A and B are shown apart, each in its own frame.
Chain A
């Protein structure tokens, strides 16, 4: 067992973990942060994406011991005082989710993308979320959502295309 201190979604934790404990299992099983999920074994699906010191990482491909001294933000830590993060709001508005299993990782990866690229084109969004698999949506409404959120996060009002019933 190794002792680690981690700040997760604004709260400090000190815990003993086995070195082999993956960050995502620490979050889910020791902290009860079950909003972050596991979808694969090979770092392909991105469902487990969280922010580690501000950068999106796949928490199934980081050991919990590696997060010692770091700050982790999960899907459960991005809305404040009951106000949704613009990315969460946009996923809802643009119908960027169906079953919702990929959604936490997709939202965390998308925020990371928009932090780097405040006004991504459709192709840039598609490339930017290449590390996150969704089986339900065909991605089109996710792309719209990310573009709309990018507009809101960076103070533009002309964001994205408005959602037609059919496009």
Chain B
């Protein structure tokens, strides 16, 4: 007998959106069949090594490259003098004020160096080994200048100058005042009238993105065309910027981001090394490669955070918020890179958090210091804002004698008040803070832990317990182009996608949003599978090559799904619109009489008339029988520009044990409930949350880029820059509520940064909650055991750390001087 299949059209196939699809990307990543930039080998390829400044601030009086040039297999050595007329300046795309001071940023130093690790020469050799051997043969004479490292000193009376040709160390002063903007009341008046004012100084320590794949660049010249591969988050932006900086015409330059091993904002950059590789390849007409060492990466790739925040909050005795005033010093480092000044500005509108402040003022000064530039790092501006507001809310609660959650509840935006326009002028889209909070409290086991905390306090247990709260929101989906324009950003925030229907019914999706671990290939396949009714497996997602994905704005700011995914949906709509016209023609029906379901068009009320999208694709390929006047293509392209940001929110709770004898803090339990809108792939979402939490917790507990008094980075290796391992992080209990974002066709809000933004204050609040009864009201981040112990036993905020690196490996931190000869260590043995 013949097996007759049940007709499946009656049962709609399971929707792809919402399904925990295993990732397509994994197949190559778990087998080592990867295409990291450093894997690439081209015939005749030369290798670059960069000679870097061992001093933080100096005039270069002489560079002697003769010994390096004589070194075996060295082809050429270039200095700033060789490239000064063609290297231009590393671009800064975000002049946040009209009078912003930008000193210019040479890729290789010409007359002066302004931070340790700045490039002073480039070795070009036949092998990586030969290039590195020659690095220490370059002899540079430096005439030392005073070093500017501390922002408060840099802005005091008569400071030393980071750039001696500038008048001050200030790059810009960006102010947002709700009273002036018409989005709130007069802030000074609000404070003058307030019953209670609490003021605090918080420090956002300097962090290093510390992506796992060191940066790498390969350039291949072909006549006057160039192909550049880079471990970058932003091949599209990079192409435009490199063309503008080097004068290589944009249409002669192709940029490819192959497999990229993480970024976190750290690869959202136009780097000196990318410029130098292009210049050297152009000069020599040969393919070149540069791959950094980890020490180079920590020392010369841009850093993140680094702000001092002076926060004032005003309220009445009942806990009703009256005003918020934020003065920020934001460390730019020695130069302005791509969006250095924009980072604090991205936070400027988020300090009010989820609360209904009637008055708000934000005043941020960007300051130059002789350190590596800062720029985007996961959250970029919003973690700083969230930390400030969530920490000061706890401080206010203490001042008022209120429960910190009650204070929050009393002032947050209620579910029925959305959309809500804040004092910062942003219109929050959707959410329910109460619901997320209730769910998080249950997930944590809040009441039991509070009871245990009480018991430990009463018994004087040397290990105290605290619970920290962070009820946060953020702005995601960067970004509405007109908003970026109003903030003087140099580009738009749209995203592009196109969908190509292949003759066999397979689908190519081209996205301008370039992934580096986020799982776009999987999630975009899910979107298209649902939209077009094609199998998930039949979709291929193409990205990261400006010759394939010709238009794009790349990946950062939790924008990919919200903006890039929306573009894919819009492109699919266009494919369907064209396919419908073809279907109507082939089915000899009116377009309006067609239903589209499960990948097929059918004439309403006429069973058995189905025409699948694959059949239409083949018919389009043949184009033998096509609607009159219609081009034989059903491909679709769309560019989506959101009208508003999206606003994920959530409640994060951290239970922390503090060993009062040693100062060691240990996370006992971490629970978070986030509302990121509609979830396309819960597996990917959960992974993004976990990773964000890890980085946010790491800021609170482990990581800090420390410079010594001379401006040497003492956390110059992973021995001293503490990226936590599995053993150093807790299990996370995560949950979701879902309130769809109204601003995009998916309803997604963005998830990439949420965990990183929300967790840091939850962790610090938890530690403080554990020891506040011992007289502690603040501890500087990271909460090293020493700082916690000092805060408990000596008062204050734990104080500064010694800046010497650990003596591990006999002082591995002296690697910050890589590029100059160092004394051989006196090591006798072995670990």
Contact = CB atoms under 8 A, between A and B. Distances in A.
Please tell me whether chains A and B touch each other in their complex, using a CB distance cut-off of 8 A.
Answer: yes
A88 B31 contact: yes
Nearest to B693: A138
B30 A140 contact: no
A43 to B, nearest CB: 9
Nearest to B808: A42
A92 B27 CA distance: 8
A135 B731 contact: no
B31 A99 contact: no
B735 interface: yes
A140 B667 CA distance: 15
A111 interface: no
A38 interface: yes
B722 to A, nearest CB: 10
A163 interface: yes
A152 to B, nearest CB: 15
A38 B212 CA distance: 9
Given A45-B718, A136-B517, A141-B690, A99 B30 contact: no
B31 A79 contact: yes
A78 B815 CA distance: 36
Contact of A141 (B27, B260, B687): B687
A135 B735 contact: no
B420 to A, nearest CB: 27
A125 B692 CA distance: 21
Contacts, number: 190
A48 to B, nearest CB: 11
A114 interface: no
Interface in A17-47: 18, 20, 28, 33-42, 44-45, 47
A45 to B, nearest CB: 6
A98 B684 CA distance: 9
Contact of A92 (B30, B690, B691, B726): B30
A42 B812 contact: yes
A36 B38 CA distance: 11
A167 interface: yes
B523 to A, nearest CB: 12
A129 B726 contact: yes
Interface in B248-263: 259-262
A42 B719 contact: yes
Contact of A88 (B30, B295, B809): B30
A39 B262 contact: no
Interface in A128-167: 129-143, 163, 165-167
Q: Determine which residue in A99, A103, A140 has the highest number of CB atoms from chain B within 10 A of its CB, and name it.
A: A99
Interface string B792-814: 00000000000000000100100
B666 to A, nearest CB: 13
A140 B32 CA distance: 22
Interface in B218-253: none
A40 B260 CA distance: 16
B767 to A, nearest CB: 20
Nearest to B696: A138
Contacts of B519: 98
Contacts of B38: 34, 37-38
Interface in A111-126: 122, 125-126
A97 interface: yes
Interface of A: 18, 20, 28, 33-42, 44-45, 47, 74-76, 79, 84, 88, 91-93, 95, 97-104, 107, 122, 125-127, 129-143, 163, 165-167
Given A132-B726, A167-B686, 9 more contacts: A33-B32, A34-B39, A44-B717, A76-B33, A97-B30, A98-B691, A101-B36, A122-B731, A135-B695
